[in-house]
Structure 1
Amino acid sequence: MPENARTTVVVVTWRGVAHITACLDALAAQERPHRTLVVDNASDDGTARLIAEHPAKPEVLRLPRNLGYAGAIDAALRVVETPLMAWLNDDAVPSPDWLTRLEDALGPAAAAGSRLEDAEGGVQSLGVRLTPDGHGADTTRLPAFGFCGGAVLLRTDVLREIGGIPADFFCYYEDTDTSWRLRLAGHDLVAVPDARVTHLHGASSRPGSPAFHRWNERNRLLMLMRCAPAAIALRETARFMAITALLPFRENVPDAPNFRVRLRCRVLAEILLRLPATLRARRGITRRSTVGRHDVWRNWARACD
């Protein structure tokens, strides 16, 4: 690791053989010294060999099983020694000045988010907004409620102080949950539109798949139980339950996995199983908070992008 490196860039991969080389090449070309740590979620497609043979020789933390993005970031947080920690998707290709822009713009804030673009330069995300029903959604308008976890710089000590990563989320909503907890703890988050990253959205997952919808529906409700005002968490959980109960009696039900009763029942079962730990986490978040839940909700829950 370079002696003057302030940041460890954590790249999470799972079966990333088709795209991780471009990510590692871009990190090797960064202007700013840094440490690169690849967390391999037990890939079985040749990714491990590809990483080992890459000229940049990144450090590797190979997990015994796939813990998802959230679990891998949590594992990395346990070993990161630099004051700053960046999260980067393995299907993301940062510009050479990406880390420089983030480090220079961070200032006293706890996190600095990036500008994610598609291959044609169109903006995918400048951060995450919070909708009135408690969804986290990519936004192209600033200021943003939170950061997109595909490319972000955070203060390592602050991340640990607010309780780390919700590893049990597996993937999706770990960024919105973390952003929410940072807001509750009184920290600022900044967006850095000139910290540019080209992102192959969905290369490592399958947006629209049953697993995608299961994680999204489950983790949104778990996040609300952890971070939102109690009335909002109860309202949205009750709404999810009511829709689930009424689906068998509805006509013209959308043909999407999140409208399948079996999937929704599984979501509810998983939430019930996690409820004791979620309530303990909520109490811990409350102890660390300096800003009221209602204040964060009132300031950031917005109906449109």
Structure 2
Amino acid sequence: MPDQVAVVILNYNGRNYLEQFLPSVIKHSKPHQVIVADNASTDDSISFLETHYPELRLIRLEENTGYAGGYNKALAQVEADYFILLNSDVEVTPDWIDPVIRLMQQNPKIVACQPKIKSFHQKSHFEYAGAAGGFIDYLGYPFCRGRILSSLEEDNGQFDDDKEVFWATGACLFVKSKDFFELGGLDDQFFAHMEEIDFCWRAKNAGYQIYYSSESTIYHVGGGTLQSESPYKTYLNFRNNLLMLYKNLNKMEFDSIYKQRKWLNYLAALQFFLKGKTTNAQAVLKADKDFHKMKVNYQPFQGSGLVHLQIYMQSIIKAYFLKGKKFFKHLNF
């Protein structure tokens, strides 16, 4: 019997996205099952699904526990060998599933994988959330092949390969179900943002691999739940990034890096303040404060979290702003 695959869309107030993108997901995912898990939406998502897709399996979650908690609860109710965690604001393409599954089947060390992520609004370019596979620098700042900070590259075939990466995007995350649960799933305490990078880092610390496959392409709208300038999104990104570092580095590594990150975070807060975004500046400071409250729930990693070849052992901030390196090839990495 071939491996079972389940596409699971976690929806929160995304009725318009479901109407726009669910038809392509259903059409191009056959014969695999498609499931919508509703994260306690307050719009008419459920009535829309019941009216227009009565045959579709719908998992109703009574409380919105974010991306992390929502998926943990939903996936616990799904039986499959492979899960595909898919955002509701994604347009898929023909044969988007099988090439990735074949790659994962060929290499038992691959626990998670992502396809090529391109922009729905500018289809010639990569999209922010994942592009052609994720990396981080030693300070914990994420970037991608095809996306350095806010600079997006045009897709000219430069990343048409299968490549081991550091993290795979939560916008379209292929993951082996057995390994997902054995690794503890996503961290509920994160609520949203950085949880997929934390999961991938934990997987790599446990000896697994994360991959990108160019043989599958999807188009992502992005910013569907929290807008990019949202102070709450700023808060979650800064807080969760520090928690991720604390969990996946040993104490000596973290202490050294935090000394640098603390001042960089203060600089980010100052930048928000000078732009008149006072609430975002306050969110950065609150994130640091709450990190210290929450870190007592975790233990630092006992090995070295910096041994992975997919960690850029220089500062991506310095490379971007001081050296003008805005394309992945310029990093010589």
The alignment's TM-score, normalised by the length of structure 2, stands at 0.79
Match of 1:123 in 2: 126
Match of 1:111 in 2: 112
What is the deviation of 1:233?
2.2
Q: Identity over the aligned pairs, expressed in percent?
A: 20
Give the alignment partner of residue 301 of structure 1, picking from 312, 320, 330: 312
Partner residue of 1:79 out of 74, 77, 80: 77
Q: Which residue of 13, 16, 41 maps to 2:14?
A: 16
Q: TM-score, normalised by structure 1?
A: 0.85
Residue 132 of structure 1 is matched in structure 2 by: 138
Report the AA paired with residue 48 of structure 1. Answer: I
85-94 or 65-74, which deviates more:
65-74
Deviation at 1:202, TM superposition (A): 0.8
Q: CA deviation at 1:134?
A: 0.6
Aligned counterparts, 1:1-305, within 5 A:
6-55=4-53, 57-106=55-104, 107-108=106-107, 109-119=110-120, 120-121=122-123, 122-124=125-127, 125-140=131-146, 143-242=164-263, 253-256=274-277, 260=281, 262-279=282-299, 282=300, 286=302, 292-296=304-308, 299-303=310-314, 305=328
* 1:116 partner SS: strand
Residues 231 and 251 (structure 1), Cα distance of their counterparts in 2 relative to 1, 3 Å cut: same
Checking the alignment, whether the CA contact within 8 Å between 2:118 and 2:218 is kept in structure 1 is yes
Quick one: distance in 1 between partners of 2:187 and 2:283?
22
- Given that residues 194 and 241 in structure 2 are in contact (C-alpha distance below 8 angstroms), is that contact kept between their aligned partners in structure 1? yes
Write the distance in 2 (CA, Å) between the matches of 1:293 and 1:184. 7
**3-state SS of 2:63 partner:** coil
Distance in 2 (CA, whole Å) between partners of 1:83 and 1:77 is 11
Structure 1 pair 245/301, CA: closer, same or farther in 2 (3 Å)?
A: closer
Q: Offset of 1:30 from its aligned partner? A: 2.1
Preserved CA contact (<8 Å) 2:6 2:84: yes
CA distance in 2, matches of 1:148, 1:208: 20
Give every structure 1 segment of 4 or more consecutive aligned residues whose post-TM-superposition deviation is greater than 6 Å.
Answer: 244-252
Structure 1: 5+ residue stretches without partners: none
From the superposition, tell whether residues 243 and 292 of structure 1 become closer, same or farther in structure 2 (CA, over 3 Å): closer
Q: What one-letter code is carried by the residue in structure 2 that aligns with 1:74?
A: N
Deviation at 1:56, TM superposition (A): 6.7
CA RMSD of aligned residues (A): 2.8
